[in-house]
Chains A and B, each alone.
Chain A
Amino acid sequence: MEYEQLKLIEKSVKIPSGCGVAGIVNKNANRFSGEMIVSSICMMKDRGNGLGAGYAGYGIYPEFSDKWCLHVMYDKTGEKEKVEEFLEARFNIVEQEPIPVRKVKSLSFIPVLHRYFLDIKNKFSDNLTSEEDFILETVMKINRNFDGACVFSSGKNMGIFKGVGHPDEIAEFYNIHNYKGYTWIAHNRFPTNTVGWWGGAHPFGILDWACVHNGEISSYGINRRYLENAGYYCTFYTDTEVITYLFDLLCRRHKLNFEMCSYVLASPFWEEIERETDVKKKKLMKFLRIIYASAMLNGPFAIIVANSSVLIGMNDRLKLRPLVAASKDDFVFVASEESAIRKICPHPERVWMPEAGKPIIVHLQENKNYGEIKKYK
């Protein structure tokens, strides 16, 4: 199949996929090389089929820590100029450069990959009440209106690197080991059909949220319609996109804390709510479930979601997908398989499996070295 066709399919229909996921966080925000996460995700090579892999690292751009950083891929000539024109109208481009890559033989259909460090020109134009909403709108506009361009990373002091290939190939391609970050998440993809579009790989990100996901969300249809109502347009047709947007909507816009957010996304069963003895909590659980009925993620999933101040690992409410966590010193590891953790941390202090629907939430200690860490809680 031609690339354009493959991309079209990828961009217009939802392709269910199986996956492997991994995440590492240093609670004190001490940065460490991406080598660790590469090693971890590669341990689970068999969970993917070479059709997608990716990484997200936090704290990787300390020199631009207060700039919005957009990673954009272009696969159509002339599109780059158009997008840059659009960006210049809205931002002061502080810095821009091609994302440094290495040649890897087995990779194909490689798009042009470029990154921009931006300051918002006119912060509150278009009646948007926050910088974040402005960035969100910008990303939405580029992804919806520029056919040959795709913003795949849009946070501050963080970046997503992804493509079509095995995780080791993608790591090599982007030189992941050269980056140092305090939180890393990674993805190894197993889509159910052939894809050639790099934008379809994971992690998926919006603002400084990045998300990797294993499983399929059967409620996708209604989650998507719900998000569209809130101004999130799902252009990628992936469950991961929906999950990421839901986190942004609930945690950033609606200011729910992560616990409440978990009540929404992996709602406790009515029977469980009924059994809850803390009256206040019970009421809240019930209320959240009623109000956010359309936001519930139904179906099997294991997700790792990160932003600059937190890393969350979470299962669906029946724990239909695997997820293991471990900790040692100021490190916390999360992965689809324990081996992926043992590989990089042979002797963790604690290894555990999270309960269905109950998230592992790792908050970062504030660290003066890496700028302000936003707390969404």
Chain B
Amino acid sequence: MVEIDAGGMYYRLLNEKIKALARSGCKEITVRNVCGQRYIGAGFDFKDLRINLYGTPGNDLGVFINGTEILVNGNVQDGTGNTMNSGRIVVYGDAGDITGHSMRGGEIFIKGNVGYRTGIHMKEYKDMRPVMVIGGTAGEFLGEYMAGGMIIILGLNGGNLIGNYAGTGMHGGTIYIRGKTPDVIFGKEIKIFDLEEKDYKTIMPYLERFANYFDCSLEKIYETKFRKIVPVTHRPYGKIYSY
């Protein structure tokens, strides 16, 4: 394992260093004293690389990433996993706004809470199915314009599970929420259902992974029933035009 001290380092240099190490065959890189460096892992294509970050990485962590695992020991800022293609981001803390914006594949695990507009315009394609598991709560506009993939909100730490306008303009994918349906304003385009057996089967591997990463009890997670938010149509705006 190789270590980099990112203290005072500008993001461009940091990314260059990480890339150079990865190209030389390095499989695991630990970066300490991360503070505000943006775009860590931008467009990375290193399939079996793992990056351990200590500190607070800057915005757009893992933007356009295409297969690398990033573990963050700390909170992350805005735009984590922006337009991500594949790979995995695990955050041992909270995440900021627009986490997983437009992500098309890969996985994001957040131990704590996420900010506003999380999973906005997530989409899926063929066997690419993005998944985001959030241990805590999410802000407003969760899964807005969501077109595919799944978001799982666990609410393990209490607080308001989700904010208003979840699933606005949603036309694909599923949001799983743990616990009773919160008393918030939902987007017009969604419906809420109880889970069927097969739904539990679908989310199980991700919950297991979540429990594994964050060392929490799977039983505790299952103690509370899940519900799911799904779009009523994948053509939400088909009828507002006069042809």
Q: Would A and B touch once assembled, by the CB under 8 A criterion? A: no
**Interface residue ranges, B against A (CB under 8 Å):** none
**Interface residue ranges, A against B (CB under 8 Å):** none
